[in-house]
Amino acid sequence: MLYIVFTFTLKNRLDKPGDSAFNLQASVSLPDDVKKCLGQIRGKFALGRCKDGLKNPHIFMPDAVTQDGYKRICYAYYADGALLVSEYGGTRSGKYSGFYPELEERMAKSGFRTDEKKKIYVIPDKRMEDFVRIVNEMIDEEQQGLFEFQLSEKWECLRFEKRSYYYSTGYWVKKGNTQVTTDKKQEPKKITEYLETIRELVRLTGKYAADCRNMEELAQIQEELDSLHEKLTIIQKLANSRLDALKQLKTL
């Protein structure tokens, strides 16, 4: 299973100089004292663009390159006198945040309450520094190489330049706490697991094609499906050939 890091275009990179969208202080939705406190986080920020200006911050690890979920810690916005923190689920980038489960675990242990319905953590002003401390501790540990990336079984679809891209999500976990192993004796995935992934992708593609009204996109879908059909036909012929050979061996 492959994990795809979308580089998009240069405008989606986090290292574009002079762009105020990467300056936390440019947010028009965060109070000044909150911006000052969050500014102590030693990571990177990307502000969401809205009609009335730059608003809510996405918080990333300092070595993050693109605005996707791979190195994102969390998404945050301010409302009702508190900072609300969650895993990003919007459509402007990957619908996950790679470090959020680790952050969520630490916030829960530190006594932050959550809105169970929306799974959003509430950070009151008086505990803003505690939140900053937790995030910085994670950043320090990430820079020390104490995390490793673990793929999940969840697939998402991302629309970019009128095309759909399917990718598997994943999360960073503390080394020693993951089920992923580098042991050479590790059992490979069963073929049924790969086939199940293919079936899920077929379902998502079919759903998208059924709702699509763009002739150009439908033509692209048809072209790519024709190509996949050719490859699957080759695999099917190979499997049939191997099966026939095994049947003949049993008759000897």
Determine, yes or no, domain membership for 108.
Answer: yes
**Is pLDDT larger for residue 196 or for residue 104?**
104
Is 42 found in the same domain as 97? yes
User: What residues have CB less than 8 Å from 66, skipping those under 6 apart?
Assistant: 5, 6, 7, 8, 12, 13, 14
Predicted confidence (pLDDT) per residue in 194-222, tens digit = 777 778 778 877 887 788 777 877 787 78
pLDDT at 227: 78
CB 47 within 8 A of CB 109: no
Instruction: In whole angstroms, give the CA distance from residue 140 to residue 143.
Output: 5
Is 16 found in the same domain as 112? yes
pTM for this model (two decimals): 0.66
* Residue 136, domain extent: 10-160
Instruction: In whole angstroms, give the CA distance from residue 72 to residue 86.
Output: 11
pLDDT at 186: 38
Out of 2-11, 62-71, 224-233, give the one with best mean pLDDT.
62-71
**Can you name the residues that pair with 164 across neighbouring β-strands?**
159
Determine, yes or no, domain membership for 184.
Answer: no
Is 155 found in the same domain as 206? no
Whether 184 shows a pLDDT value over 70: the answer reads: no
**Is pLDDT larger for residue 218 or for residue 110?**
110
Is 146 found in the same domain as 199? no
SS (HEC) of 80-104: CCEEEEECCCCCCCCCCCCCHHHHH
Is 213 found in the same domain as 129? no
Is 202 found in the same domain as 154? no
Determine, yes or no, domain membership for 87.
Answer: yes
Q: Which residues of 104-120 are buried (b: 16+ CB within 10 A; e: fewer)?
A: bebbeeeebebeeeeeb
